[in-house]
Structure 1
Amino acid sequence: MTIKDLKEIMDSTSDAAVLIDGDGVVTAINAACVALLGAGRAVVGRQCHELFAGTSEVGKVCEADCCVLGAVHAGRPLRNFDMQVNTTTGRQWCNVTVLHSGSRTRPWALNIFRVVDVRKRLEMLVRDFVATTTGLDQEMASKVLAHGRPALQVSLTSQEQKVLKLLSRGESTAGVAKELGISPTTAANHIQRAMVKLSAHTRLDAVRRAQHAGII
């Protein structure tokens, strides 16, 4: 997949998207990211961790040797996660989905940011309330709440799951077809069926919904 292909994918989503190389340097951002950051496209060439300065509830997430770069270089898939970042309106919570090349020769990672500030703050308030009223620590209270959260009721075939896993690594339709030994048309059909089952409007959305539900 070329940089041009990746930029087209970035421009196809209304969520903020940032493309970084294997050293964590920003190589491209989309219009939604410009609007979120208010920093303009001059951020290209900067270190990603300096740009977002991401933190979680327990401390710093964004740093020179972060979990995203670790996953990129190890070729390891990474679950979506929440972190608080710099935006035009101050610090906001975003849910981050990471798609990466899985290549050691020319690594890259596409980070998709969706603002979830209200949802996250409500979760933290509920967690703190549960911790206070039950005597549980915050970590255990979070696990109790997560266990009680309804899962997405979707049944994907093994082939559809494989297709989504490959898409999460940045594979194109042709790449998926080659990996699975099927025709591009068949691969496209699997992708479309998975999107319909997940009520997703884009491939990126399908991947994120599947990751959030623990399907892939």
Structure 2
Amino acid sequence: MKPYVLIVEDEDALATLLEYNFNKEGFETGIAMDGEEALLMAEERTPDLVMLDWMLPKLSGVEVCRRLRRRKNTTNTPIIMITARGDESDRITGLDYGADDYMVKPFSMPELFARTRALLRRAQPSLLDDVVKMGDIEVDTQAFRVRRGDKQIHLGPTEFRLLDHFIRHPSRVFSREQLLDAVWGRDVYVEARTVDVHIGRLRKALKSPGKTDPIRTVRSAGYAFEIAG
């Protein structure tokens, strides 16, 4: 699963440039053009990293940063603040409000991605790993291979994306709507019950004698991925 970056920038040209370069580097992106939209999008889908402009319509970047830090789902989300304000006092203010890093416009893309990957490695090391393991299940995102113990598991593309998403967020409960956004995409219309169908297929593929079902159904909430022991 590609890391999801929320770009909060009201300058169309810069937002488009950031989106293009993040996509080229293998990231998934969303764009918010003002502070209120940024908070709404971060609530609908938790970003793996936020690129946050200081000067925004409706809510300033520092206020968005402060509110994201107060939310449970984004308390530890890496935030890079981008701004034309380069004074030391401004950098200190941004960091005091919860930003993890601070870049002054104009900045180089290679430096941006070096800082982005450094933050993601600290926050979620598995996001940048090609092979992710949990218990006896191993997912190779580059070779599109899955193993459980000594057995190779054959999955369809959707089941593979589901498993990849689950294994990178162990024990977290996802609603059907959240899984639809993460696996199918926000711009694709798919009925929520479709999630149940693919969960069933994934469960069947991962079933192994003497092994527990790693997918837990949480009544009235959704699904979580767990392996005991």
TM-score relative to the length of structure 1:
0.28
Higher relative CO (CA 8 A, sep ≥ 6), structure 1 or 2? 1
